Amino acid sequence: MDPAPGMPPDLWCKMAAYLGAIGPSLPVRPKAALVISAHWESPRPSIGSAARHALLYDYYGFPEHTYRLSYPALGSPALAARVRQLLAQAGIESDSDDQRGIDHGVFVPFKLIYPQADVPIVPLSLRHDLDARAHIAIGAALAPLRDEGILIVGSGMSYHNLRSFFRPEAQANEAARQFDCWLADTAGMTDRAQREQALVDWQRAPGALACHPRAEHLLPLMVAAGAGLADPGRRPYTDTLLGKAVCAVQFG
């Protein structure tokens, strides 16, 4: 959608360009995508196993046309079963859900990543205890998918304090800058154990709680980092949105 009145007209342009370039940037076209969304929490990891996905318009107060968006992506019951198998092999209990559909943390970015909706998608929930170490372990258990042609995507946001986002506050902007620097340094660590421990201790980072009063938008990155194993992260996208530093991190 267009930026709200009074917002910069190009507010989302750089982010949209980044998302649109992900597909062409990959060395091979993925067989399917496993997407960890900040907007789905359950007692233990839950995997969307539907063969076709309905859309979950899990937002309010947006323009009317945003409730008529479509994205007819197929699911992959076979991939959903494989995810559960890998989690079980790691001693991680999980659930299957063939009813929920995909939320806007999935279908909005993927409308730009694969606009033809021609890559099957399997959504994966967060654990509602929001335990960072547990989510890194989930990612590590799912790392074999990388060698099976599956794109693993953590869909959240590196800055997510909506009370401060739209306010031109120097203190909030500085907190975002500090946390963004910490995230860049941490994701890029070449020592896997050191990187994972720093991510577990993310609340101690400069500006952390000012940027993430609640952890749900940061935890998809933890799953991706766990799946990255020894690969250090790099940042293919950096931006400043209304004074708040944001970025994306890629492993592998």
62-88 pLDDT, tens digit per residue, is 999 999 999 999 999 999 999 999 999
Residue at 66 is within a domain:
yes
C-alpha–C-alpha distance, residues 152 and 231, integer Å:
14
Question: Rounded to two decimals, what is the model's pTM?
Answer: 0.97
Structure tokens at 2: 């267009």
Contact 37, 86 (CB under 8 A): no
How many domains would you assign to the chain? Answer: 1
**What percent of the chain has pLDDT above 90?**
97
Q: Is the pLDDT of residue 232 over 90?
A: yes
Residue at 129 is within a domain:
yes
Residue at 5 is within a domain:
no
Residue at 2 is within a domain:
no
143-199 pLDDT, tens digit per residue, is 999 999 999 999 999 999 999 999 989 999 999 999 999 999 999 999 999 999 999
> What is the CA 16 to chain-centroid distance, rounded?
15
Q: What is the mean pLDDT of residues 41-66?
A: 96
Mean pLDDT of the chain: 97
What is the pLDDT at residue 4? Answer: 87
Residue at 4 is within a domain:
no
Q: What is the mean pLDDT of residues 125-150?
A: 98
- Residue span of the structural domain in which 115 resides: 13-251
**233-241 and 244-251: which strand pairing?**
antiparallel
CATH number at residue 173: 3.40.830.10
